[in-house]
């Protein structure tokens, strides 16, 4: 506690503003856990950049922690590329303080003689990724905490290829940041180096999205699709309605109560389209308007939730693996029809996502590539394989990336692609739900399920750490009566074949992930989140069924089996 108090008292020095010093003094006077939580560590970069609770302290999002990040990046650019003229694009989402923090970041870059392109208002994260390449920037920053609770904010860094930071730049920049003292931050920016962007870049982005996400549906087909859309108080309201209008989807019902950007997210418990509750208002409107499809996005518009009508006409939320499979099938079908599959194309997914992605790719004669969780790794695959054409790819956490126009998951292009697919199917008398069942009948029924256990604070971090240690040191030999045949430990890059008692290396960067495989195709992965105080368990089982009408019952049975499996890992919902 003495070290924490020393760190807090440092924040009372002359460099810090009066408001910050007052809030730190209040934490010291209270002597509560809040002081420890605010200063016990430096906020670190995770899977999707840096995220944390807003407030004072080294473990919080504030002008000083973000200023230090930005100064470190500026120093790195000048040190590693001294002869280049650098520029950066900056965007922000709907969250409280995102606009002011974005301005702080812009000022620090400008104070370091780096040109800044700043969006005038909130914008989707994928638009920032697109803008980095479109504006020929060295890097990009977006202020967002994605779907985290209202008290959070965050800082994502994109490199010149439009993808998020990956090795070796990430470790090099983090080291540069850690070597900095707060007093070295230059906050007084040069206004002449800050350019406020106009709508030209927005329109270019929307045009590109339409180009890569629409195919053969007629204008009449698109008009006939009845869509219900909610932005969940986030940034997609700035792009999706314009995109729909320009593409010809005119029958769109927007949830007005959730259309106004608001970092407090007043109408939902969580602005996360993975959660069924987040789409309740949209589903109510969809039932009133007899909509075919319901779509919702998270606050920064990189994830999307999709709900469709089942065989009984009831609206059902699809999971991230299911939407990924539908979109990938549709893209592969279109590429094949256009004779664009030559053997040099690939689709991509992550190690914790559905195995059905690989099955689909192989059936269409397309290369399948797998990466760690997080779209920065999928973007890196594109950069690492310039001789291959990227078709599309996704991950189980409700994200998808169509083509390589954007080098991150993009709800905007995924929305348009899904609606194009739904419009074509509706014209043929089918639904997305029926098509999903057909895919399962053709390739096998893969049912996935995710459970996230929230473990907050220092004690929670220790609990998560111990859970992963226990799973490694005391591995299960059987799961639901099925013999475990393979254990992949990405922290050591080793895969242990328990049948042949052999070990082989894993050609993917190290990460704190452990995956069990059984003899019958069951897959269970355990992974601490890189951006949230959670440990996640991903389960996939492989079943089969023959008749369309048997699907609902088979799905219920599969989920019951998965819940039984989770109990063996000490996870109870």
What is the token pair recorded at 66? 């973000």
Q: For residue 540, what pLDDT band results from cuts at 50, 70 and 90?
A: very high
pLDDT of amino acid 44: 82
Q: What is the average pLDDT across 511-519?
A: 96
Q: What is the average pLDDT across 289-313?
A: 97
pLDDT of amino acid 47: 59
At 442-451, the pLDDT tens digits run: 999 999 999 9
pLDDT of amino acid 48: 64
pLDDT of amino acid 49: 79
Report the C-alpha gap between 324 and 65 in whole angstroms: 36
Domains and CATH numbers, the chain: 41-198 (3.40.120.10), 204-443 (3.40.120.10), 445-568 (3.30.310)
Residue 16 is given by DSSP the state S
Lowest mean pLDDT among 121-125, 233-237, 431-435, 566-570: 566-570
Report the C-alpha gap between 508 and 510 in whole angstroms: 6
Q: Which of 249, 259, 248 is nearest to 227 (CA)?
A: 249
What is the token pair recorded at 517? 């495989």
Query: Is 87 tagged catalytic?
Result: no
At 182-229, the pLDDT tens digits run: 999 999 989 999 999 999 999 999 999 999 999 999 999 999 999 999
Task: Give me the sign of the Cα torsion angle 181, 182, 188, 192.
Answer: positive
Q: What is the average pLDDT across 4-33?
A: 92
pLDDT of amino acid 34: 85
Predicted TM-score of the model (pTM): 0.94
Contact 87, 113 (CB under 8 A): no
Q: How far is CA 225 from CA 144, 198, 315, 429, 437, in A?
A: 32, 32, 15, 12, 20
pLDDT of amino acid 168: 87
- Among 87, 98, 129, 146, which one carries the catalytic annotation? 146
10 Å CB burial of residue 146 (0-12, 13-18, 19+) is buried
């Amino acid at each position: 506690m003495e070290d924490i108090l020393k760190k807090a008292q440092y924040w009372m020095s002359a460099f810090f503003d009066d408001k910050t010093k007052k809030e730190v003094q209040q934490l010291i006077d209270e002597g509560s856990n809040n002081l420890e939580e605010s200063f016990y560590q430096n906020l670190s970069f995770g899977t999707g950049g840096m995220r944390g609770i807003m407030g004072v302290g080294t473990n919080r999002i504030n002008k000083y922690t973000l200023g230090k990040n930005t100064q470190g990046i500026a120093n790195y650019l000048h040190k590693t590329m001294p002869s280049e003229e650098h520029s950066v694009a900056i965007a922000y989402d709907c969250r409280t303080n995102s606009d002011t923090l974005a301005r702080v970041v812009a000022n620090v870059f400008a104070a370091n003689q780096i040109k800044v392109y700043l969006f005038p208002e909130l914008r989707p994260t994928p638009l920032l990724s697109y803008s980095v390449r479109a504006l020929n920037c060295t890097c990009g920053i977006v202020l967002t905490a994605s779907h985290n609770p209202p008290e959070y904010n965050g800082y994502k860094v994109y490199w010149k290829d439009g993808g998020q930071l990956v090795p070796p730049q990430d470790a090099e920049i983090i080291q540069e940041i850690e070597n900095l003292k707060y007093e070295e931050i230059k906050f007084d920016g040069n206004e002449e180096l800050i350019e406020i962007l106009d709508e030209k870049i927005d329109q270019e982005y929307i045009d590109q999205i339409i180009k890569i996400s629409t195919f053969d549906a007629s204008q009449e087909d698109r008009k006939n699709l009845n869509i219900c859309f909610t932005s969940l108080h986030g940034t997609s309201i700035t792009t999706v309605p314009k995109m729909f209008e320009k593409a010809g989807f005119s029958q769109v019902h927007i949830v007005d109560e959730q259309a106004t950007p608001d970092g407090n997210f007043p109408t939902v418990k969580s602005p996360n389209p993975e959660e069924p509750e987040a789409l309740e208002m949209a589903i109510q409107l969809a039932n009133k308007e007899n909509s075919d499809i319901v779509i919702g996005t998270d606050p920064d518009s990189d994830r999307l939730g999709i709900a469709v009508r089942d065989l009984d006409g009831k609206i059902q939320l699809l999971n991230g693996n299911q939407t990924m499979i539908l979109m990938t099938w549709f893209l592969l079908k279109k590429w094949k029809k256009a004779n664009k599959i030559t053997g040099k194309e690939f689709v991509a997914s992550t190690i914790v996502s559905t195995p059905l992605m690989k099955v689909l790719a192989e059936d269409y004669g397309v290369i399948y590539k797998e990466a760690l969780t997080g779209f920065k790794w999928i973007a890196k695959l594109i950069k690492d394989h310039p001789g291959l054409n990227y078709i599309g790819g996704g991950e189980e956490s409700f994200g998808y990336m169509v083509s390589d126009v954007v080098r991150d998951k993009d709800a905007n292009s995924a929305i348009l692609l899904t609606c194009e697919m739904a419009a074509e199917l509706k014209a043929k008398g089918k639904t997305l739900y029926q098509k999903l069942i057909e895919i399962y009948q053709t390739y096998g029924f893969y049912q996935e399920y995710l459970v996230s256990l929230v473990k907050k604070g220092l004690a929670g971090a220790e609990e998560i750490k111990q859970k992963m240690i226990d799973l490694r040191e005391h591995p299960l030999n059987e799961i639901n009566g099925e013999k475990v045949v393979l254990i992949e430990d990405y922290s050591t890059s080793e895969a242990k074949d328990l049948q042949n008692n052999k070990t082989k290396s894993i050609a993917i960067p190290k990460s704190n992930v452990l995956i069990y495989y059984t003899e019958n195709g069951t897959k269970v992965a355990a992974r601490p989140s890189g951006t949230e105080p959670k440990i996640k368990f991903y389960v996939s089982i492989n079943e089969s069924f023959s008749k369309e009408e048997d699907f609902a019952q088979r799905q219920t049975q599969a989920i019951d089996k998965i819940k039984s499996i989770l109990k063996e890992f000490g996870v109870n919902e």
